[in-house]
Chains A and B, each alone.
Chain A
């Protein structure tokens, strides 16, 4: 069974601080996605990474895919209260099936 371990589970920081969320697996991903979920809504895709070592930036968010495609990280610079939410990583272990395995999620609270 493929599992994704996400850490930390909870994070409460002050506005302006930096943070990193990690997503790890013992299996190789064919691709990995990061989603953000707000209360009362479904998850919304932030980014997809496919190539080992790939780095993608989305404003203050930086996503990195490990060289071996077994891990990924999300780094937020100068966090804002609007970044508050649940961050989920989701891995595809078999290409072309559409099936994703989700991590447990990281609940981020950014206090003004």
Chain B
């Protein structure tokens, strides 16, 4: 089975530009998570969905960040406008229902805002 697929793998853009990160979860998984990883703050949960519905977005830094899940096989995380402090590795993960199930992570998008 294919794992979680994220695109792009790398993104370099200038501050002020819109950035869109994409994620295809594992088929049959009910939960989808967006994380941000930096050296300073580690792995932070931004938002997660259950059956395509956003459940907890308390980790979203500010209004510049938005996430959507229009169907069970696709999600986006947008940053508009982007700022240098948004530079990080962004991970998408998916899991089956229940907290004891493993989260399966994609390989991440390394985002650099100049």
Q: Residues of A with Cβ closer than 8 Å to B?
A: 30-31, 33, 40-45, 48, 50, 88, 90, 92, 94-105
Contacts and interface: CB of A to CB of B under 8 A. Distances in A.
Nearest to A9: B42
Interface residues of B, number: 28
Given A99-B56, A102-B42, A105-B42, A44 B99 contact: no
B102 A88 contact: no
Contacts of A43: 43, 91, 103, 105
B106 interface: yes
Interface of B: 4, 30-31, 33, 35, 42-45, 48, 50, 55-56, 91, 93, 95, 97-108
Contacts of A95: 98-99
Contact of A97 (B99, B106, B107): B99
A42 B106 contact: yes
